[in-house]
């Protein structure tokens, strides 16, 4: 079985689960489609994602003003995505080369570890920003003292350290190994025993998706519910609060970012779950083997798209990000003086390609 760039199980362990009594059909023509289509998708994701995340970092770094707490998390998320995207061209060429790794052992280890670092860091940064929104609206008074930019930066640092620690097994056990049955030298995870691979995948699925995803769903559900209750109270009393309106827009943007992360990554982790069952021989047969082989390729490609989606969300759904972007770029163009005289409301209209109301990065 060929290995997706996000996976952490060696080729050799997969082939051990083939049924001895059944000869599975040759699907070489289907693999030719994978070799042709998946690298092109990865290249496209890489270009769009790098331009988008560089744009986000450019705006936040040059904007003359302090970052809000949620923006601190989003900047770190953009950095994680950028590191991840830098490694993608190696994997695109690897798949195009039919998984014959041409870049040496160090790049095999570092590129693989960077991909896992991005996944762990991204999902826990989203947990952190979801928790920040939860404390803001559900426990406004009791936890107000712990919401500060210093604490947010400390949480980001701990998240990076945690991501590095969870990526150590990938860096340690990834290696370029010759596989005579396929006549290739592949970048694989070469664990001492098959049980190591199973344990690594369980950690990958539980710590890298199941637990943080559950936390995000709970936190965002409680936050949206609290906002709805607060809105009903304001409507009942006939009052309106601009700050609450801005915070609601910010929370909807964070919710959209979290939702897109879950939509992109859930199919991949479902395939990983079935693959664990396949290794344990709970499910067997040619159907499952072929399903997991091709499912991992295309679900992992879907997961990769998450790294280029966030900047698009900020531009089309983030009103205050658009305002900051326009203010930054107005400093570099000849029409900067003219734009500086235009109100923020008029400025944002230049960017309203779509009438999206759920915006803000605060």
Q: What is the pLDDT of residues 4-43, one digit of tens each?
A: 445 333 343 344 444 444 567 777 788 888 899 999 999 9
Angle between helices 242-279 and 69-96 (to 10 degrees): 30
Mean pLDDT of the chain: 79
Q: How many Å apart are CA 359 and CA 142, to the nearest integer?
A: 27
User: What is the helix (H) or strand (E) element at residue 21, kind and residue range?
Assistant: none
pLDDT above 70 covers what percent of the chain?
Answer: 78
Q: How many Å apart are CA 328 and CA 336, to the nearest integer?
A: 9
- pLDDT exceeds 50 at position 349: no
Answer yes or no: are the C-beta atoms of 137 and 65 closer than 8 Å.
Answer: no
Place of tokens 């830098």: 86
Whether this model's pTM surpasses 0.85: no
Write the pLDDT tens digit of every residue in 267-318: 999 998 888 888 888 888 888 888 888 888 889 889 889 888 888 887 777 7
What is the model's pLDDT at position 13? 38
Answer yes or no: are the C-beta atoms of 74 and 102 closer than 8 Å.
Answer: no
What the chain holds in terms of domains, given with CATH numbers, is 11-349 (1.20.1070.10)
Answer yes or no: are the C-beta atoms of 358 and 256 closer than 8 Å.
Answer: yes
What is the model's pLDDT at position 215? 93
């Amino acid at each position: 079985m060929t290995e997706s760039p996000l996976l952490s199980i060696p080729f050799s362990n997969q082939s051990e689960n083939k049924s001895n009594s059944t000869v599975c059909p040759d699907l070489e023509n289907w693999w030719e489609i994978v070799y042709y289509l998946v690298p092109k998708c990865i290249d496209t994701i890489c270009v769009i994602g790098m331009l988008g995340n560089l744009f986000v970092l450019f705006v936040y770094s040059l904007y003359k003003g302090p970052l809000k707490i949620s923006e601190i998390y989003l900047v770190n998320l953009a950095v994680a995505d950028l590191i991840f995207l830098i490694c993608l061209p190696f994997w695109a060429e690897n798949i195009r080369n039919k998984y014959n790794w041409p870049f040496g052992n160090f790049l095999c280890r570092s590129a693989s570890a960077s991909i896992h670092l991005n996944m762990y860091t991204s999902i826990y940064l989203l947990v952190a920003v979801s928790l920040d929104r939860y404390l803001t609206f559900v426990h406004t008074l009791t936890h107000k003292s712990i919401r500060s930019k210093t604490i947010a930066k400390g949480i980001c640092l701990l998240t990076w350290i945690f991501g590095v620690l969870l990526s150590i097994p990938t860096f340690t056990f990834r290696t370029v190994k010759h596989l005579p049955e396929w006549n290739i030298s592949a970048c694989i995870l070469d664990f001492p025993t098959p049980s190591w691979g199973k344990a690594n995948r369980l950690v990958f699925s539980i710590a890298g998706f199941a637990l943080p995803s559950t936390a995000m769903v709970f936190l965002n559900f409680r936050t949206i519910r609290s906002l709805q209750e607060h809105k009903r109270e304001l409507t009942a009393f006939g009052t309106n609060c601009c700050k609450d309106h801005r915070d609601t827009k910010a929370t909807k943007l964070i919710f959209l970012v979290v939702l897109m992360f879950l939509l992109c990554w859930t199919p991949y982790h479902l395939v990983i779950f079935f693959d664990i069952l396949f290794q344990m021989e709970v499910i067997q047969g040619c159907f499952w083997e072929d399903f997991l082989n091709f499912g991992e390729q295309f679900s992992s490609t879907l997961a990769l798209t998450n790294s280029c989606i966030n900047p698009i969300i900020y531009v089309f759904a983030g009103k205050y990000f658009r305002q900051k972007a326009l203010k930054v770029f107005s400093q570099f163009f000849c029409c900067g003086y003219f734009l500086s005289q235009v109100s923020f409301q008029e400025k944002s209209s230049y960017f309203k390609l779509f009438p999206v109301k759920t915006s803000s990065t605060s």
